[in-house]
C-alpha cells in the first residue's frame, strides 16, 4: 500500500519541481550565452542539442501537468454538477477526520488535521480539552474501543501514551488510507504509461528499410533511364551510382528525423511521468465515495454560511462540537468561530479560545 503523501509532502514535491524547472532555466540561459559567444562548431552543436532536449522536456512536462489537471478538474466538475444537495445540515458521515480529509481532496494536512481529530475525539466523548493559562490540557475520558477507526485508535493510543508529539505521519496516513479503502470510499489509482525507449529499435529498423527502399528505387529509375541510351554495363554503373548517391544524401534527413523523434518521445515520457504523478496523487472515488463527497461539499457550504443558522439557542444546534472539527478540515474555523461560537462554546466538549493557538508544544496530557 502506498503511503505518506500528505499535503506537506505534495508541497515539498511542488518545491522540488519548481527547483528543477528553475535549474533548467538557469542552464538554458548559460547555454544560450555560451552559444552566442562561441565559434566552435562542436560546441555550437552540443549547445543546440542540449537546448532542444531541455525545450522538449519542459514542454512535455507542462503538457502532462495540463492533461492531469484537466482530467481531475473534469472529474470534480462532474461530482459537483451531480450533487443533489445545496446544504447538508447533519453530519454527512461517521468516517472520522482522517478519512474525510482524504475523501475531500486526497490529502492530509498534518498539524491541522491532527487538531481536528483531537476535537472530534472530544466530541465523541473520548477526550476532554480545556485551556489552562497558556496550555491546553487533554484528559482521556474513556479507553479505546472498536467503535473507532484504526486511524483514530492510532491517535488515541499516542495520546494515552503521552507520545502524540512523536507521531509518525506516514503511518497515520496509511491507517487513514486503509480505513477509507475498507469503507469502500476510494482506492489508489494505478496509471500505466508507455516506458518504451525514446527511439525504439523497431522504429529505427523500419526507417532503415525505407531509407534502403528509396535508394533502390532511385537506382532502378536511373538504370531504366540509361538502359535505352547506353549499353547495359553503363546503365548498371549509373544505376549503382544513383543508389549510392541517394543513400548518402538521405542519411542526413533520416538522421535528423530520428533525432527529432527521440527528442519528441523524451518530451512525451516526461509528460507521461508528470501526468502519472498528478493522477496517482488524486484518489479514485467509488460510487459510494462520490455520494458521500456530495454530502461533504454541501456540509461545507452549510458550515460556511453557519452565521445564518446560529441565531437560535445553542442547544438547538445539533452536534456543534463535531461541526467545529469538520470546519477545521475545510479551513473554515474562522468563519464558524465568528458566527455564534462564543455562545456555543460554553456547551461544548472543549473549552478553548482559538483553535489556531493549539499545537503540540502547548498540549499537556493529564493522566487518567
Q: What pLDDT, on the 0 to 100 scale, is given for residue 322?
A: 76
The whole-angstrom separation of Cα 179 and Cα 125 is 21
**Domain boundaries in the chain?**
96-189+282-366
Q: How far is CA 224 from CA 119, 212, 230, 233, in A?
A: 91, 18, 10, 12
| Mean pLDDT within 150-155 | 93
363 pLDDT exceeds 80? no
pLDDT in tens, 74-98: 999 999 999 999 988 888 888 889 9
308 pLDDT exceeds 60? no
Q: What pLDDT, on the 0 to 100 scale, is given for residue 44?
A: 87
| Mean pLDDT within 44-61 | 85
Q: What pLDDT, on the 0 to 100 scale, is given for residue 1?
A: 36
Of residues 192 and 309, the one with the higher pLDDT is 192
The whole-angstrom separation of Cα 100 and Cα 180 is 8
Q: How confident is the model at residue 4 (pLDDT cuts 50, 70, 90)?
A: very low
The whole-angstrom separation of Cα 258 and Cα 241 is 26
234 pLDDT exceeds 50? yes
Of 122-126, 144-148, 150-154, 196-200, where does the model show the most confidence?
A: 150-154
| Mean pLDDT within 292-300 | 92
Share above pLDDT 90 across residues of the chain, in percent, rounded to a whole number: 18
The whole-angstrom separation of Cα 289 and Cα 110 is 22
| Mean pLDDT within 290-302 | 91
pLDDT in tens, 6-27: 554 455 556 666 777 778 788 8
Contacts (Cβ under 8 Å, ≥6 apart) of 107: 5, 6, 7, 10, 101
Of residues 230 and 148, the one with the higher pLDDT is 148
Task: Reduce the DSSP state of residue 186 to 3 states and report it.
Answer: strand
* Cβ count within 10 A of residue 237: 15
The whole-angstrom separation of Cα 181 and Cα 344 is 35
Of residues 348 and 191, the one with the higher pLDDT is 191
Q: What is the pTM of this model?
A: 0.71
Q: Which of 208, 203, 205, 238 is nearest to 223 (CA)?
A: 238
Mean pLDDT of the chain: 80
Q: How confident is the model at residue 5 (pLDDT cuts 50, 70, 90)?
A: very low
Amino acid at each position: 500500500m502506498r503511503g505518506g503523501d500528505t499535503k506537506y509532502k505534495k508541497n515539498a514535491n511542488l518545491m522540488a519541481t519548481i527547483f528543477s524547472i528553475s535549474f533548467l532555466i538557469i542552464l538554458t540561459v548559460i547555454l544560450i550565452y555560451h552559444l552566442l559567444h562561441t565559434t566552435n562548431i562542436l560546441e555550437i552543436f552540443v549547445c543546440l542539442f542540449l537546448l532542444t532536449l531541455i525545450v522538449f522536456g519542459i514542454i512535455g512536462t507542462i503538457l502532462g501537468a495540463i492533461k492531469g489537471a484537466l482530467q481531475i478538474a473534469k472529474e470534480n466538475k462532474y461530482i459537483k454538477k451531480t450533487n443533489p444537495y445545496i446544504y447538508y445540515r447533519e453530519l454527512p458521515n461517521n468516517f472520522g477526520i482522517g478519512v474525510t480529509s482524504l475523501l475531500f481532496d486526497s490529502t492530509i494536512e498534518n498539524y491541522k488535521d491532527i487538531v481536528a481529530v483531537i476535537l472530534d475525539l472530544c466530541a465523541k466523548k473520548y477526550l476532554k480539552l480545556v485551556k489552562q493559562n497558556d496550555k491546553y490540557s487533554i484528559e482521556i475520558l474513556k479507553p479505546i474501543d472498536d467503535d473507532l477507526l484504526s486511524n483514530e485508535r492510532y491517535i488515541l493510543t499516542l495520546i494515552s501514551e503521552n507520545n502524540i508529539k512523536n507521531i509518525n505521519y506516514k503511518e497515520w496516513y496509511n491507517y487513514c488510507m486503509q480505513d477509507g479503502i475498507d469503507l469502500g470510499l476510494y482506492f489508489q489509482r494505478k496509471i500505466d504509461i508507455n516506458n518504451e525507449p525514446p527511439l525504439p529499435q523497431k522504429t529505427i529498423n523500419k526507417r532503415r528499410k525505407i531509407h534502403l527502399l528509396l535508394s533502390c528505387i532511385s537506382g532502378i529509375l536511373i538504370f531504366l533511364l540509361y538502359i535505352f541510351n547506353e549499353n547495359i554495363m553503363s546503365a548498371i554503373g549509373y544505376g549503382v551510382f544513383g543508389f549510392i548517391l541517394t543513400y548518402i544524401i538521405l542519411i542526413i534527413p533520416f538522421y535528423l528525423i530520428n533525432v527529432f523523434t527521440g527528442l519528441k518521445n523524451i518530451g512525451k515520457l516526461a509528460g507521461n511521468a508528470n501526468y502519472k504523478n498528478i493522477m496517482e496523487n488524486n484518489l479514485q472515488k467509488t460510487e459510494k465515495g462520490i455520494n458521500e463527497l456530495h454530502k461533504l461539499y454541501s456540509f461545507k457550504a452549510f458550515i460556511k454560511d453557519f452565521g445564518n443558522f446560529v441565531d437560535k439557542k445553542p442547544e438547538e444546534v445539533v452536534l456543534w462540537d463535531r461541526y467545529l472539527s469538520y470546519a477545521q478540515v475545510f479551513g473554515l474555523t474562522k468563519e464558524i468561530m465568528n458566527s455564534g461560537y462564543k455562545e456555543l462554546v460554553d456547551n461544548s466538549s472543549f473549552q478553548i479560545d482559538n483553535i489556531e493557538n493549539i499545537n503540540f508544544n502547548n498540549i499537556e496530557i493529564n493522566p487518567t
